């Protein structure tokens, strides 16, 4: 057996053997307890059972070979070090058994305190506590011991044996009631002894066995329960939502108990080294005297601000502050901690790099650079585009009386106020009157789509981050709070109730899609300071605003680092100007279809309906100067920067009135005996052009090849606008982009005609016009080597590439079934939101490689929604594209992430 033991896998690590980099193996809690212990901080001794042991247990349903023996020898070592034995009747060693995974999963898994207490050792604990100096009366020691015992039965019962927690809560309430008090501190030793009896009965009733008296059995069962808590339903759900892999497992920490419930000179608390809300420096925390750790979170008694500990116990307070400073310096980041004071002696029970708000992330990163703890590369690594995007939403101004009435899940960020409506139809009606509405539903379904589009915000009482409401709202960029379960929605009665109040259709509510909070009435909305900064109306050098200064500093660094250029998608001069202020370095996608709407519709109708010779040419000739003016405006705003103009893309019937409407009009007019020749012709055209699958029909380059003169008119307008800019002293850099190309022959045909026109228009003006193509049809990606022969640039249209790559009709699928796909984990995030690296991403990679092989120096960009998605930006950096292009509002996010991509790939290549 001895030989066997030497080859056993190591499953148990003493705190002295671990360190903070072993999170994967020891979990965050265990790794950091080891780290603190090795720093010489006062950590109660203990050991950690690895995540590998948990994985093995979960795979086989039993403890792996060797684990029991290793626990035994570590326990013996602990007992030797402490001079006590686990559960010894005279002087028991007690331990806590604590879960702790690689990623923090707050409140998801289990912890049991005071393991080792039983009917005998509770007496020994009381005697020892009473014998210790400083204890006022032995009555206090008895109280402490029985309080600890009842806590063990409660936690053990609930966590290890699945006894419903309310049963214990109920018995505790009864004991307090009998005593005529609301405060658990008023229960004396006898009351608690009685409570222990009551708890044991509850335990017996629910488990069919007595509460286990063997300390080692308690320990083993608690360890097993922590392993199993990894697969508890709520933990599984949480992981799916947070995209934490399901197979990591949790570590188990066995830690010597220290007691915050030993009297008024003891207590327990939590603290942050900086304000996790704003990032401000200072002391933030809560303290609770005469209590064990779980009381702080449970909120049984009111905590006091940590500052008050200075009066209660100056020396522990000073020591704590010293340790906090030390931890910050060591981790070089905001830390949060749990501590306990046992009769004036401070113990550290946990630390980790703390969670923080988006604003705090920027502010803290900036401060740490100032303090010389980290450099700017590291600061850039510590913030992200999702946080920056959050800071760009308007926020509620909550300084006054507003109190939330409910809290759900912040499913899609933003701040929205509006009139409550309960049906899609009503939402559409009121929105048409110019009202801002909040659509309130139990949960939404695809029938609510119109209402969701019309609403300012969406509030549901059910469903999580992947519910229909949440997914669709995020796709639309609409504010959404989902799963606010305090709200009772009654759709037929057109009202909901919350916190004893009734809200009727027509009342106003406000919802915060970032925090998930719901308010009654209209909360004033504040513009984002970060947007004001990007817009140029806040000067970071001259205002006292830590957030704006930090954002400025980090953005400047990101710009210096990034290799990817960032362009914008903009169709108007105004959008172009705004995007330029946000840092856009050109336009990656200027759509031209909106230029055919409004009062130009009539010309388009003439173009489509043209029958007589010369009619089409006349319509095109009338459109030409209008188009030229459109482009002149955009070139002017983007003076000196490249502008990619996409030739007209959508099916032409989109420019004609809808079939049903037209048919009704014609019928009515005929009835009245009016002359309907023109309408009839239109109707016939609409019928002729009707397509079952317009997204796969006559659009893009196909249209250009079928309607003579259409592309030629656009090319001429672009070239003439560029020449006119040059004549006025500007620099226009047009890039003509042909949409929906699938075969090089398509592009060659368009190119031949375009080149002729360009040569004729440009003459010796010095204007240079590039011709390239979108890569958005899978066949184009797979034949990129051929297509590159005829293209000076590629721009990946990842929306269509995703649509055609997956065979997903974008307008239909998100509302219809994506919520289900997300729930099932078929994908973790909509492939329209973040690029599907394995599939669609592979097409991009192939096209980039084969395109560049055929034409070195081929310019590569991307102009789908993905251009502003943080994770996708990293992918495009890796693939080696030259630029990403995104909506104006996303430009700062793309700049930041393009910088982060360089830092994270370990590169220092600046442009």
51 binds, among Mg ion, ligand ADP, none (CB under 5 to 8 A by kind): none
3-state class of 8 per DSSP?
A: coil
Q: Taking the chain, what is the end-to-end CA distance rounded to the nearest angstrom? A: 63
Smallest gap from Cβ 123 to ligand ADP, in A, equals: 21
Is residue 800 near Mg ion by the rule CB under 5 A? yes
CA distance 40 to 73: 24
Of 121 and 351, which has the nearer Cβ to Mg ion? 351
Q: Which stretch binds ligand ADP (CB under 6 A): 131-139, 236-244, 255-263, 630-638?
A: 255-263
Nearest to 189 by CA among 158, 154, 149, 157: 149
CB atoms within 10 A of CB 654: 15
Binding residues for ligand ADP, total number by CB under 6 A? 17
The one of Mg ion, ligand ADP, none whose footprint includes residue 349, by CB under 5 to 8 A per kind, is ligand ADP
Find the residue with minimal CB distance to Mg ion. Answer: 800
Which CA distances in Å does 312 have to 301, 318, 342, 695? 17, 12, 13, 71
Q: Which of 74, 468, 866, 877 is catalytic?
A: 468
| Interaction between residue 44 and ligand ADP (CB under 6 A) | yes
Q: Distance (Å, rounded) from C-alpha 795 to C-alpha 737? A: 8
Would you say 358 and 390 are in contact if contact means Cβ atoms under 8 Å apart?
yes
- Which listed option, ligand ADP, Mg ion, none, makes contact with residue 96 (CB within 5 to 8 Å by class)? ligand ADP
Q: Smallest distance, Å, CB 168 to ligand ADP?
A: 16
Least CB distance from residue 100 to Mg ion, whole Å? 8
Q: Which is nearer to Mg ion, 350 or 885 (CB)?
A: 350
Burial of 391 per CB tally in 10 Å (0-12, 13-18, 19+): buried
Nearest distance from residue 698's CB to Mg ion, in Å? Answer: 14
User: Tokens standing for 541?
Assistant: 């050098």
DSSP character at residue 815: I
Beta carbon nearer to ligand ADP, 32 or 568: 32
Tokens of 590: 């200027």
d(C-alpha 528, C-alpha 869), whole Å: 20
Q: Which backbone phi and psi does 737 adopt, to 5 degrees?
A: -115, 125
Active site residue 468: yes
In the complex, the smallest distance separating the C-beta of residue 270 from Mg ion, rounded to whole angstroms, is 8
Residue 96 binds to ligand ADP (criterion: CB under 6 A): yes
Partner from Mg ion, ligand ADP, none contacting 776, C-beta within 5 to 8 A by type: Mg ion
Q: Which segment (338-346, 382-390, 627-635, 762-770) binds Mg ion by CB under 5 A?
A: 338-346
Q: By CB under 6 A, tell whether 113 contacts ligand ADP.
A: yes
Residue whose CB is less far from ligand ADP, 15 or 396: 15
Nearer to Mg ion by C-beta: 575 or 800?
Answer: 800
Nearest Cα to Cα of residue 385 among 833, 847, 858: 833
Stretch that binds ligand ADP, among 53-61, 250-258, 384-392, 634-642 (CB under 6 A): 250-258
Q: Which of 350, 419, 461, 568 binds ligand ADP (CB under 6 A)?
A: 350
Beta bridge partners of 775: 796
776 touches Mg ion (CB under 5 A):
yes
Residue where the block lists tokens 């050109």: 586
CB of 133 to Mg ion, least distance (A): 30
Nearest to 411 by CA among 357, 472, 496: 472
Report the residue number, 369 or 775, with the smaller CB distance to Mg ion: 775
Residues numbered 256-315 forming contacts with ligand ADP, rule: CB under 6 A: 256-258, 292-294
Question: Can you tell me which of 37, 50, 51, 111 binds ligand ADP, judged by CB under 6 A?
Answer: 111
Residue 503 DSSP SS3: strand
Complete edge-to-edge strand list for the sheet that includes strand 95-101 = 12-14, 46-49, 250-256, 95-101, 111-115
| Closest distance to Mg ion from the beta carbon of 802 (Å) | 10
12: which strand partners? 49
Q: How far is the CB of 471 from Mg ion (least distance, A)?
A: 22
640 φψ region: left (φ > 0), alpha (ψ -120 to 50), beta (else): left
Give the separation between CA 819 and CA 823, rounded to whole angstroms.
6
Catalytic residue among 54, 335, 590, 863: 863
Residue nearest to ligand ADP (CB): 293
Q: Which CB atom, from 142 or from 800, has the smaller least distance to Mg ion?
A: 800
Among the residue ranges 199-207, 252-260, 327-335, 868-876, the one whose residues contact ligand ADP (CB under 6 A): 252-260
- Would you count residue 142 as binding Mg ion (CB under 5 A)? no
The one of Mg ion, ligand ADP, none whose footprint includes residue 800, by CB under 5 to 8 A per kind, is Mg ion
Closer CB to ligand ADP, 94 or 736, in the complex: 94
Question: Which residues 6+ apart lie within 8 Å of 564 measured at CB?
Answer: 873, 876, 877, 881, 882, 883, 884, 894, 898, 901
CA distance 278 to 490: 38
Bridging pattern class, strands 859-862 and 525-526: unpaired
Q: How far is CA 506 from CA 420, 422, 442, in A?
A: 5, 10, 18
Beta bridge partners of 284: 272
List of residues contacting Mg ion (CB under 5 A): 338, 350, 776, 797, 800
List of residues contacting ligand ADP (CB under 6 A): 44, 96, 98, 107, 111, 113, 255-258, 292-294, 338, 340, 349-350
Where in the sequence numbering do the catalytic residues fall? 468, 863
């Amino acid at each position: 057996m001895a030989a066997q033991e030497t080859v056993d896998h190591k499953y148990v690590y003493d705190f002295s053997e671990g360190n903070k980099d072993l999170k994967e193996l020891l979990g965050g809690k265990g790794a950091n307890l080891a780290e603190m212990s090795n720093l010489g901080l006062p950590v109660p001794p203990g050991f950690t059972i690895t995540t590998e042991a948990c994985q093995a247990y979960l795979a086989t349903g039993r403890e792996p070979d060797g684990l029991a023996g290793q626990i035994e020898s570590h326990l013996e070592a602990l007992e030797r070090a402490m001079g006590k034995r686990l559960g010894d009747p005279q002087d028991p060693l007690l331990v806590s058994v604590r879960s702790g995974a690689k990623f923090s999963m707050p409140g998801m898994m289990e912890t049991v305190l005071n393991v080792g207490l039983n009917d005998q050792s509770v007496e020994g604990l009381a005697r020892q506590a009473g014998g210790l100096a400083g204890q006022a009366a032995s009555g206090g020691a008895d109280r402490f011991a029985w309080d600890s015992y009842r806590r063990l039965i409660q936690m053990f019962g609930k966590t290890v044996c699945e006894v419903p927690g309310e049963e214990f809560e109920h018995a505790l309430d009864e004991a307090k009631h009998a005593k005529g008090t609301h405060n658990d501190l008023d229960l004396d030793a006898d009351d608690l002894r009685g409570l222990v009896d009551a708890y044991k009965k509850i335990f017996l009733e629910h488990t069919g066995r007595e509460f286990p008296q063997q300390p080692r059995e308690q320990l083993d069962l608690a360890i097993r329960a922590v392993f199993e808590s990894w697969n508890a339903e709520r933990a599984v759900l949480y992981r799916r939502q947070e995209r934490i892999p399901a197979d990591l497992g949790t570590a188990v920490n066995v830690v010597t108990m220290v007691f915050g419930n030993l009297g008024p000179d003891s207590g327990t608390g939590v603290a942050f080294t900086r304000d996790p809300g704003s990032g401000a420096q200072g002391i933030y925390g809560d303290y609770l005297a005469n209590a064990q750790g779980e009381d702080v979170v449970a909120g049984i008694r009111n905590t006091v601000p940590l500052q008050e500990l200075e009066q209660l116990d100056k020396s522990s307070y000073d020591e704590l502050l010293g340790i906090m400073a030390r931890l910050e310096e060591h981790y070089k980041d905001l830390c949060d901690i749990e501590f306990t004071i046992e009769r004036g002696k401070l113990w550290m029970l946990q630390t980790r790099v703390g969670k923080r708000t988006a604003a705090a992330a920027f502010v803290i990163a900036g401060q740490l650079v100032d303090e010389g703890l980290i450099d700017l590369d590291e600061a850039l690594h510590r913030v992200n585009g999702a946080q920056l995007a959050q800071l760009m939403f308007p926020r509620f101004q909550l300084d006054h009386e507003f109190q939330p009435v409910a809290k759900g899940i912040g499913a899609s960020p933003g701040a929205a106020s509006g009139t409550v409506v309960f049906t899609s139809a009503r939402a559409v009606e009121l929105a048409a009157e110019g009202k801002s509405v909040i659509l309130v539903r139990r949960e939404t379904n695809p029938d609510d789509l119109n209402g969701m589009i019309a609403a300012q915000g969406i509030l549901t009482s059910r469903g999580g981050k992947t519910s229909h409401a949440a997914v669709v709202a995020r796709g639309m960029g609409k504010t959404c709070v989902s799963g606010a379960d305090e709200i009772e929605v009654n759709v037929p009665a057109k009202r909901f109730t919350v916190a004893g109040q009734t809200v009727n259709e027509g009342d106003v509510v406000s919802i915060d899609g970032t925090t998930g909070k719901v308010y009654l009435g209209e909360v004033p909305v504040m513009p984002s300071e970060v947007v004001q900064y990007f817009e140029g109306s806040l000067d970071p050098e001259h205002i006292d605003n830590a957030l704006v200064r930090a954002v400025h500093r980090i953005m400047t660094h990101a710009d210096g680092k990034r290799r990817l250029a960032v362009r914008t998608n903009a169709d108007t001069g105004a959008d172009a100007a705004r995007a330029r202020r946000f840092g856009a370095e050109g336009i990656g996608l200027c759509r031209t279809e909106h230029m055919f709407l409004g009062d130009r519709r009539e010309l388009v109708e003439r173009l489509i309906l043209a029958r007589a010779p010369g009619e089409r040419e006349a319509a095109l000739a009338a459109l030409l100067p209008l188009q030229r003016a459109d482009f002149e405006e955009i070139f002017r705003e983007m003076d000196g920067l490249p502008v990619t103009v996409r030739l007209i893309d959508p099916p032409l019937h989109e420019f004609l009135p809808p079939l049903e409407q037209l048919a009704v009009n014609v019928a009515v007019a005929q009835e009245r005996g009016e002359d309907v020749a023109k309408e009839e012709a239109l109707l016939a055209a609409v019928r002729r052009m009707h397509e079952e699958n317009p997204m796969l029909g006559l659009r893009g380059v196909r249209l250009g090849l079928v309607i003579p003169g259409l592309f030629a008119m656009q090319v001429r307008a672009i070239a003439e606008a560029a020449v006119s800019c040059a004549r006025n002293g500007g620099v226009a850099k047009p890039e003509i982009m042909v949409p929906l190309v699938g075969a090089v022959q398509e592009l060659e045909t368009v190119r031949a005609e375009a080149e002729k026109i360009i040569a004729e228009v440009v003459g010796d003006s010095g204007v240079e016009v590039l011709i390239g193509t979108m890569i958005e049809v899978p066949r184009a990606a797979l034949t990129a080597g051929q297509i590159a022969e005829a293209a000076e640039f590629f721009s990946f249209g990842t929306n269509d590439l995703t649509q055609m790559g997956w065979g997903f009709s974008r307008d239909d699928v998100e509302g219809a079934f994506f919520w289900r796909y997300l729930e099932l984990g078929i994908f973790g995030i909509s492939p329209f939101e973040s690029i599907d690296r394995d599939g669609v991403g592979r097409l991009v990679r192939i096209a980039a490689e084969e395109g560049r092989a055929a034409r070195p120096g081929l310019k590569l960009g991307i102009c789908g929604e993905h251009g502003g998605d943080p994770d996708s930006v990293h992918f495009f950096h890796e693939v080696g594209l030259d630029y990403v292009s995104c909506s104006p509002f996303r430009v700062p996010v793309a700049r930041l992430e393009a910088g982060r991509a360089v830092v994270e790939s370990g590169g220092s290549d600046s442009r």
